[in-house]
Structure 1
């Protein structure tokens, strides 16, 4: 179709003439004045209400009662301007219709419809804090609201329902099916995520259950919950269960190729939870000098927290396929060693009980399964190399400094008994 400049120019002139005719009618001027006054009055009334109502004045402190309700009421204060604009335009419409000299409100109704779209926009901006959900809602709900208020929703719905994407007998997959899948998927999974957090928190708070059992039940709860949500979303979108065979076939093919590592980590996570080879709180040492305490066991990976505050994200397959050390798997007791050296003229027979008794006085050093053992190791170049072996409960890391404390005890004991801790010496002779 060729672009006809004369036709466009003629249409613009017709619109100009029509607007000029409207501007000369009292009804149009009254509607325009009502719209301008509503736009000016709405923010003024909003400020007055925000100052007059305590819930809208300032954000509630964390210690107040009914914190969630107070936070919602405070956020509602940010919607007052849009809400009042819609109400004022509706009031203006009724007033104009009641006055015989005007008796028209089509322009005010159009402005009210646009104000309703603005209200939807403000609700999204105020209540959705996460950037992804906010952008998704803005790009979906605002255009949809505009289509509804302009009266094109039925035509838009018919277009989506008539666009077939995948023929499936009597229930084809249409563009409307995809829209329902996205909308219901967002709503159900958002609610499901909140339920998952609350449910797992409630399960993990059951102190009468073993920690490992709580973790297994929490993960099973998560799997069952999202499986139920998946079928609810599919049913709400109108996808027949027979059509899921095609979806699962494609999914199985994807797992066989690109998703195989994810599936392997998922199965490994279940194996870890059920065989309990690794539990929350265990101290593990893996290849590459990576060690720390297990913080969380997730579906795809396990989080290991190191002593310096870092989290190591380890794929679950590392715990089912590779070798690693679990220092606290069955028994929290650990044996530690502290090396030291004494001079060659030291009485070792007197040294052994002296160091043993001193080390045993430490509150974390255990006498069971064995008392501290002071052992001879080797004859060094300048010292007799000795060692103290002792048992303690826990890991020598973070708040526990077993070897450091025992080393300090040995040093103080040797110093108090005038036992020399030698250092390497070299004698240089000048031969002429």
Structure 2
């Protein structure tokens, strides 16, 4: 029985293959089919020729613009578009040939050219994604989403596809359920609006921070308020564009509230702490801070969740905003950039301290970064050491002794050179060993 069925299947496949072969032979004998095939071949030949000609005639398609060129952004887009100019011309030429074939009564058909045009359109979308999206993740997402959508559209199944999405209910909500189409719109318009929002946020914050007439703390507050308001507006635009009903918003906000209650308290706390930091201005961008655990550096940025502290060795330390509202820390430049520093040194017990003080003080004061106000350098006695009289120089400078500033190091060198030049001994620990006499025999 199975052997007879296999022979029947083979006969059916053979008959079907014979039918296909006969159909292809009929097409190859048909002037209409051959005309369409010739049109496709001619379009494939003409597209690269015309693309090369346009690149030679139009400089902006041939050479990438320099950053200082006029209309740099527009020129860059035109130049990038030129990288898939052949695909654009192929689609355009196939569309022109399809129209020409329909208008000629001897042919009157363009179905094969339409199929070729559809495939060329899908290839055009793929090339545009490869050129305009540099990030590998976004490029992969766009290829997996936009290319299938383009294929559905060009093959004429768009209406059936949208009807299927509209008919698929994800969350039943009375008369206005959330369907697969709603989620698709939410994903598409959400990605688009939030990408535009991120670009607008960067430019808006840069414009606000460029206002030198405003205090730095005020600029940071306005920048963060601009960011918050912008993304709230974008969120409502996305929701309205996706067609989510008001009742759906209640569900979404309820889920968010539950999420905050269960696991998002740290994020919410850091967000609120960031606002508190900006409003009370206890910390602002540019301040030099020292946190618990010997973490120190300049405040580089205050974000919605964390604060970035840039260290002198080129590292960025991400600190939760709650560390500035719940823990103690030192802000060295909160009210004034002036800082007092100390350098310890020792001299021998034979030194004339009364003569030493003005010599060292004047030498330190000669340093260009050492200030005479609020106080001049002060040479102070500390204690009597085992091998030296321990002294100290206190002096004021503008800025932090870190990174490009070497205040204490420079002053240490000045003290060493001054002592050497005045023949003042810098002692070092000495030990005297006494050997007991050998016992008499």
Give TM class, smaller chain: over 0.9
Q: 1:367 aligns with which of 345, 349, 372?
A: 372
The residue number in structure 2 matching 1:300 is 305
Q: 1:82 aligns with which of 87, 90, 102?
A: 87
Partners of 1:250 and 1:64 in 2: CA distance: 50
User: Are 2:245 and 1:240 equivalent residues in the alignment?
Assistant: yes
User: Are 2:25 and 1:20 equivalent residues in the alignment?
Assistant: yes
User: Are 2:182 and 1:205 equivalent residues in the alignment?
Assistant: no
The residue number in structure 1 matching 2:236 is 231
Q: 2:133 aligns with which of 128, 131, 139?
A: 128
- What stretches of structure 1 of length at least 5 have no aligned partner? none
Partners of 1:67 and 1:410 in 2: CA distance: 56
Partners of 1:34 and 1:197 in 2: CA distance: 49
The residue number in structure 1 matching 2:170 is 165
User: Are 2:39 and 1:34 equivalent residues in the alignment?
Assistant: yes
The residue number in structure 2 matching 1:419 is 424
CA displacement at 1:253 relative to structure 2: 0.8
**TM alignment of 1:346-425, pairs within 5 A:** 346-425=351-430
Partners of 2:152 and 2:20 in 1: CA distance: 23
Normalized against structure 2, the TM-score is what? Answer: 0.93
Q: 1:217 aligns with which of 199, 212, 222?
A: 222
The root-mean-square deviation of aligned C-alpha atoms, in Å, is 1.9
Query: What SS class does the counterpart of residue 297 from structure 2 fall into?
Result: strand
Count matched residues: 431
Query: What SS class does the counterpart of residue 307 from structure 1 fall into?
Result: coil
Query: What SS class does the counterpart of residue 314 from structure 1 fall into?
Result: strand
CA displacement at 1:47 relative to structure 2: 1.9
Q: Deviations over 1:124-176 (max 9, x none)?
A: 22122222322222122111111111111111110000000111121110000
Partners of 1:165 and 1:288 in 2: CA distance: 50
User: Are 2:75 and 1:44 equivalent residues in the alignment?
Assistant: no
User: Are 2:111 and 1:106 equivalent residues in the alignment?
Assistant: yes
CA displacement at 1:13 relative to structure 2: 4.3
CA displacement at 1:17 relative to structure 2: 2.9
Partners of 1:66 and 1:49 in 2: CA distance: 21
Partners of 1:195 and 1:253 in 2: CA distance: 31
Query: What SS class does the counterpart of residue 341 from structure 2 fall into?
Result: strand
The residue number in structure 2 matching 1:332 is 337
Query: What SS class does the counterpart of residue 253 from structure 1 fall into?
Result: helix
- What stretches of structure 2 of length at least 5 have no aligned partner? 1-5
Q: 1:180 aligns with which of 182, 185, 210?
A: 185
Q: 2:254 aligns with which of 235, 239, 249?
A: 249
Q: Deviations over 1:199-243 (max 9, x none)?
A: 111111111110000000000000000000100100000011222
Partners of 2:385 and 2:80 in 1: CA distance: 74
Partners of 2:15 and 2:259 in 1: CA distance: 58
Partners of 1:398 and 1:11 in 2: CA distance: 81
Partners of 2:400 and 2:219 in 1: CA distance: 24
